[in-house]
Amino acid sequence: MLVVAEFIKKNLFSIFIFLMAISIVNNTIAESENIKNAWELPTFNLKGLDGKNHTLKEWYGKVILLNFWASWCAPCQYEIRDLTQYQEKLADKGFQVVSLGFDKEQKLRNIHRSLEINYPVLIMEPSNPRTQAIMKQWGNPQNMIPHNVVIDKNGEIKYIHRGQLDEEIFNDYIMPLL
């Protein structure tokens, strides 16, 4: 017991951080588990790079990958290249990426042009007071990006992923829905 006590004493700070991390992850998971169906969530209405306002319901009936990203995030940019390819290949099967970009419109436009994004990009200006609420609604109260939400054709939220999507995740969680 003495050894355990000594260990705790020496590593008090690390243990605290570890417990905090577990708590944060658990909270996040709890948030996301509460969400069952996308159509039951408060709808968002955001301006897209096409100049029009959009709500998620426009893509009702499709398998939606809701992708949260920012222009300054390198993993997001890598992910965008993959998502663009998936969108091109799988659009006929009812797959639709809908992305929410956190940044000023011009920067998002530049990324859209540079990476030749072929799916809708909705603008979440940093000054938008609803940004935090929207992120929280979609299982991401910590505002981590990239963040991805997979919604099936019935609106059921099938999977939430924090971090960059890879091929294996795509094959495991999205392909079976198409």
Smaller CB separation from another protein, 46 or 73:
73
Instruction: Write the burial class of residue 10 (CB in 10 Å: 0-12 exposed, 13-18 middle, 19+ buried).
Output: exposed
In this structure, what DSSP letter does residue 149 have? E
Closest distance to another protein from the beta carbon of 57 (Å):
26
How many residues bind another protein (CB under 8 A)? The answer is: 20
Single out the residue of 161, 170, 174, 177 in contact with another protein (rule: CB under 8 A).
161
Distance of closest approach, residue 45 Cβ to another protein, in angstroms: 25
For another protein, the binding residues in 56-115 under the rule CB under 8 A are: 71-74, 77, 103, 106-107, 110-111, 113-115
Contact between 66 and 56 (Cβ < 8 Å): yes
- 3-state DSSP assignment of residue 161: strand
Q: How far is the CB of 132 from another protein (least distance, A)?
A: 23
Phi, psi of 106, rounded to the nearest 5 degrees: -60, -40
Tell the smallest beta-carbon distance from residue 34 to another protein (Å).
14
169/177 Cα distance (integer angstroms): 13
- C-alpha distance across the termini of the chain, in Å: 55
From the list 101, 96, 110, the residue with the least C-alpha distance to 131 is 101
If one asks whether residue 167 binds another protein (CB under 8 A), the answer comes out as: no
Amino acid at residue number 101: G
Residue closer to another protein by CB (options 6, 166) is 166
Site string for another protein, 140-159 (x = CB under 8 A): -------------------x
Q: How far is CA 137 from the centre of its chain?
A: 11
Q: What does the binding site for another protein look like in residue numbers (CB under 8 A)?
A: 29, 71-74, 77, 103, 106-107, 110-111, 113-115, 159, 161-163, 169, 172
